[in-house]
Structure 1
Amino acid sequence: MKKHPRYTTTMKSTSTIFLLVIVLMSACGNQDEGSVSTIISNGNLEELRAKKKELASQLSGLEEEIALLDAAIGEKVGDKKLSLVTTHKASVTNFDHYVELQGNVTTEQNVLIYPEAAGTLLKVYVKKGQRVSKGQMLASIDDGGMSSQLVQMETQLALAETTFKRQERLWEQKIGTEIQYLQAKANYESLENNVKQFKGQLSKFSIRAPFSGIIDDVIKDQGTVVAPAGPGSEVFRIVNLSDMYIEVDVPESYIANVVPGKAVKVFFPILNRTIESKVRQTGNYINPNNRSFTVEVPVPNADGKIKPNMTAKVHINDYNNPEAILIPQSIVSENAEGEQYAYIASGVKDNVGTAKKNIITTGKTQGDFVEVLSGLKAGDNIIEEGARSVKDNQQVKILNK
């Protein structure tokens, strides 16, 4: 569109005058004790901050006045140049905030299995990586002939049982003496207890799985002499990968909001997998070294790909607002007083409106969005693209699709 001659001349004159004013102010400021260069050379932090606040305030005022002058010039020459922006209507939405932490996968069923008796490892029945059931025989140790002794004791027990039952029937028929009956009973019960105790001793020469899981390592080979105690005496490592959980150290500032039942998102970088879970348990002790408490998060592991000591990024829900207004962080600005603000388009008609600066109070952030606690309401036309270039009370043209 061809510019109006008068408009062009006026704009050039205004720009020239403005530049001359800036040059003169800069020249004068270089000689002034309160100039920027003088304050910087002095190096006083309070003076630097005060000067920055002063200049920011002046700049904000000049920008608003320039916007008013531009609007007045446009009206005089009959040619308005509107800033192009996009907007979206503010709406109420559910907002969940998550605190991001790092944790390690662990399991209570990850143990080393030691023998209960000394001897030669006679037979190993399992291999590394094999799934086993609780109570399954893993290995046997040479018992030194105790099995043969048990057979003899069981034979004696069988004879004592037969004698006792026969003597019991005779005594019921009033045949024989009571002392004969009692002696047979005592002999049988004594042998029965001896066999039970001997079986208990003999069971120590068999190594069995304490729970269902996977043999993670076979540490001792067949034929090795093993002992029930001492370093290096372990025979197997067994792990249950179905009962896994993550331990997370959570800063004590979250102790009121991170409680059992809170939603959790767990991301395993090495697997590129995210699973959803909940806080199972929170610790009752604050670690004085890092001012944190421990949280347990169970993780399902049907395919067994999650391993103990694997690291994970844990996102724990610590805050919820069911009626939140969210806006992009990129459109939030801050003035010289430290107040945050955003622009809305008011009085919109035929895609033309007026930019209005709204002082806002923000809350928690999540990703690229920030929660607005005050200063905006549902239905406001929030300026997004172009928010950094518009001024208060400036007319704008909205280009929403």
Structure 2
Amino acid sequence: MTTTSWSPEHVAAVQRRTVGVLSSAQVIGGLGAGAALSIGALLVKEVSGSAAVAGLATTMLTLGAAVLALPLAGLASVRGRRTSLATGWLVAAIGAVVVVAGAVADSTWILLTGLFVVGANSATNFQSRYAATDLAEPMHVGRALSLVVWSTTIGSVIGPNLTGLGAQAAGALGIPDLAGPFVFAAVGFALTAILMAVALTPDPLHVAKEIRPAADGPRPRSRMSDAWPLLRSNAAARTGVVTVAGAHALMVAVMAMTPVHMEDHGSSLTIIGLTISLHIAGMFALAPVMGLLTDRWGRGRTIILGQATLLLATLVAGTAGESELQMMVGLVLLGLGWSASTIAGSSLVAQSVLPASRPAVQGASDLLMSLAGAFGGLLAGVVVNVWGFGPLNIVAAFLTVPAIRMVVARRHRIIGAGRLGR
């Protein structure tokens, strides 16, 4: 189809369809994501017998997301969002099957390998939010992104509460109880892969590449290696990447060891599951509000709000002790701070880069975000093992410093950023 055949009405219709398909996929895939987040660390602890090794569960999930971010972004650049997203969800389904196999074999290494592959879920999830912005109007980038983020709420909140049902399914299949939720994850990821392959058409990135050059001039190169020079020269995109990476590292560091900390203080699996569900609700449920703030109030201001909320979360969670209620409040704040920071930072990245270069820069952003999360998970296990959960929150709080400094230093340009290439 030629560029001139894409009328504004047709583009708007494709954008609505894209957001609808991506949102539906996030609901289904979120079931598996919620199960992996809440049960992964406990399953590794059960098999390995070590709380320190349990911290590697989240590390492997985030490290897998990091390693797979660039290949999936490269696939999107060449073949489009549909092929890339379908592939990512299928890989995550395979990873969930490997996790179940590791639990059955009572092998920590197989378990961790499976969790690494399940990390494709996060890499694909991250790319989905950017896919929603490919055809969005500049003043609605935050809204489009946040709607897809919000749709993750349903599956991700229900997922951690499937522990009991998962144990029943595990009993019927003759596998360890904690492996049950990963059976649900495998099915959910596989169904999402099918949905992407069948329904995400026309491909939003292909359409964006066709219509943008007419307005923005010659199409720039789209090689993955171009991401790093673009980030060095683009202050707005660089600030967005640093914000997203720092917020993710802080969130993962605190969240990764929360189930272990609560179990050590006598909390039941039901209470632990509820706490993680509330945390995930904080991450996703108010995403449309964060998107509205990003579009109307400004990306810089929303980033500062997110960082301040993360600081408050570390204070509340770090001083919770045996209080389950205070821990729940702290984890909700942790989710809200992550939501504001991620939506504002991601919007800044999406709106600062031309469509043809977008997959490369977004892939680099997702790579750094996941590496930061892996660092946070690794940091969490070590710090908790040596000093405890309270000191972990103190260390994590310092991860807000880079983003705050960058926004304050460039506040006029960042708050007003919205034009491509700024």
- Taking structure 2 as the reference length, what is the TM-score of the superposition? 0.18
Q: Which has the higher helix share?
A: 2
Q: Which has the higher strand share?
A: 1
